[in-house]
Amino acid sequence: MKNYVKLVDFELKRFMKIYLALIGIVIISQIVGVIVESNQFMNLANGEMLDGSMNLAQFLETYWPLTMSRILFSRWFILPVGLSAAALIFYCFFIWYRDWFGKNTFIYRLLMLPTARINILLAKASAIFLMVLGLVSIQLILLPIENIIFQTIVPFDLRVDMTIREIVNGSGYYGYLQILLPTSIVQFFINYGIGFMTVFTLFTAILFERSYRIKGIIFGVAYCIFALVIFLSPFIIEVFSEFGYFYPEELFIIEVILGIIVTGISIWVSHYLLNRKVTV
């Protein structure tokens, strides 16, 4: 346990500079975004109403009062969130390959540590997971602050206030915040459970490549397809046979079990590869 925590801390340290930079970009871009978007709206309102062509009611009817969920759709918000997602996905690969291709083949020292090798894998996955959740939390902490800035710039008559919960849900049907922070806690565990499973499957594929090199790429891709087929098998069967054989609650239970099985197989295969096959 102690070794595991030590390794997680160590993995975090190695990405900390870039991670902090990402957080910085998110904070700065979003805060600048709220200020710029709010001011643009105020300029528009002043322009339309001061030259006498519109009164308040006409303006609101044409442009609608500003809300946080409209600001959330601007580039200032979508770009840094997209950048963070891309960086963390990229890091899922980099977290392994830097150990082989970085200065003085670090993986050699990692594998020589007096601890179960599976801890290396668990630590890397945990580090990525913590960083993803950390960014989501930063977003949640930022929202009330942004709300205050928004309310300071845009007067009450021209805005509609929303609670944090409404902002998160309000980006509604195509909103990215709904995926990161679903209304229901169960859906939260489903989304991140699927995320966890995907990371472990990807790690297994990477370890296949590290173990068998060129041939390993094929094994890795095959393994990913295998995992996908297992996980989606109830749906695949339904497409080929009778429509909707299972009731939704049954499908839910089946999917939870299959998700645990796929994650379990991935960890078990990774364990085997790390102990027996991986080469430096």
**Residue ranges in contact with other proteins by CB under 8 A:** 5-6, 8-9, 12-13, 16, 64-65, 67, 69-70, 130-131, 133-134, 136-141, 160, 162-166, 168-172, 181, 183-188, 242-249, 252
Please tell me the total number of residues recorded for the chain in this structure.
Answer: 280
DSSP states of 154-189: S-GGGB----HHHHHHHTGGG-HHHHHS-SSHHHHH
**Range 6-34 burial, b when 16+ CB lie within 10 A, else e:** ebbeebbebbeeebeebbeebbebbeebb
Q: Please identify, using beta-carbon distances, which residue of 134 and 217 lies nearer to other proteins.
A: 134
Closest approach of other proteins to the CB of residue 169, in Å? 6
Find, among 277, 274, 280, 279, the residue nearest to 118 by Cα: 274
DSSP-derived 3-state class of residue 66? strand
- C-alpha 180/C-alpha 85 separation (Å) is 11
- C-alpha 206/C-alpha 220 separation (Å) is 7
Closest approach of other proteins to the CB of residue 137, in Å? 3
Closest approach of other proteins to the CB of residue 96, in Å? 20
Q: Please identify, using beta-carbon distances, which residue of 209 and 255 lies nearer to other proteins.
A: 255
CA count, 13 A, side-chain hemisphere, 55: 1
Q: Please identify, using beta-carbon distances, which residue of 179 and 218 lies nearer to other proteins.
A: 179
DSSP-derived 3-state class of residue 53? coil
Closest approach of other proteins to the CB of residue 66, in Å? 9
Q: Are 223 and 208 in contact (CB under 8 A)?
A: yes
Q: Please identify, using beta-carbon distances, which residue of 130 and 224 lies nearer to other proteins.
A: 130
Closest approach of other proteins to the CB of residue 214, in Å? 37
Closest approach of other proteins to the CB of residue 69, in Å? 5
Q: Please identify, using beta-carbon distances, which residue of 31 and 130 lies nearer to other proteins.
A: 130
Closest approach of other proteins to the CB of residue 242, in Å? 5
DSSP at 275: I
- C-alpha 271/C-alpha 265 separation (Å) is 10
| Residues 6+ positions from 11 with CB-CB distance below 8 Å | 95, 123, 124, 126, 127
Q: Are 111 and 117 in contact (CB under 8 A)?
A: yes
Q: Please identify, using beta-carbon distances, which residue of 48 and 166 lies nearer to other proteins.
A: 166
Report CA torsion sign: 103, 105, 107, 111: negative
Closest approach of other proteins to the CB of residue 75, in Å? 18
